[in-house]
Amino acid sequence: MAPVEIVPGCLYWPGWLDRAGQEALAAELRTILAKAPLFVPRMPRTGKPFSVRISSCGPLGWVSDIAGYRYQATHPETGEAWPPLPPLLTRAWAELAGSPLEPEACLINWYAPDARMGLHQDRDEDEFSAPVLSLSLGDTAVFRIGGTARKDPTRSIRLASGDALLLSGPARLAFHGVDRIVPETSTLLKQPGRINLTLRRVRRAELGEIRP
C-alpha cells in the first residue's frame, strides 16, 4: 500500500491495520495496560493535568510532571519496568518506518471523547534521524499538522481506527496535535474514545543497537 504524503515527510496509510489486526492490537494493549496502568501526565512547572491519560511499552517510556519531560525505564507510579513492545508494533516499524534504528519507546495516549492535544513538537528524543510512527485505534481523531515553526500554516486530516501516520524527514519536528475526537465512529474499543500509539527512537545511534 503506497502512502499519501500529507505534507513533506508526513506519510499516511489509511486502513493499514484491518479489523482483525486492530482487534489483535487492542487485546495486546489490554495486557500491557494491566501491567502499566494509564496515568495522568502533568505540565512541567505548573502541574496542570493533561486531558489525555498515558502509558508506555518498550525499554523506555515518556513521562511528564512538574520536573519536566523525559524518558525513563520505569512506570512513574508502579516503579516497574515497562512491558515489552508487542510483535505487531515492531512489525509496523519494520514495514513503515524506513529506519535502521530499532524503536525504544511506544507512547500510549488514551483520548476520552472530550480530550484533545494542542500543537506541539516531539523533540524530547536525542535521535531525530529516526521517524515517529503513529497507529490509531478507536474513534476518529481530527489531526492537525503544520511546519517546524508554531505559526506555520496547518492542515487537518481525520485519522480513523487502523490508520498509520509517519513523521519523518522535514516533518519529524513539525508541530502537530489533535483538535477533537469524532464520537461514535468506531466500535473497536469497549468504551468511547481513541488510543494513539507512537513509536519512537530515543537514544542516538551510537548509544544503541542498529538493526542489520
- Whether residue 123 is contained in a domain is answered as yes
Residue with cell 486492530: 22
Listed as ranges, residues in the chain with pLDDT below 50 are 210-212
Number of domains the chain contains = 1
Domain of 116, CATH number, reads 2.60.120.590
User: Has this prediction a pTM greater than 0.85?
Assistant: yes
- Whether residue 212 is contained in a domain is answered as no
* Residue 26 lies in domain: 4-202
Query: Residues of the chain with pLDDT > 90: what percent?
Result: 94
- Each residue's pLDDT tens digit, 104-139: 999 999 999 999 999 999 999 999 999 999 999 999
- Whether residue 209 is contained in a domain is answered as no
Query: Residues of the chain with pLDDT > 70: what percent?
Result: 97
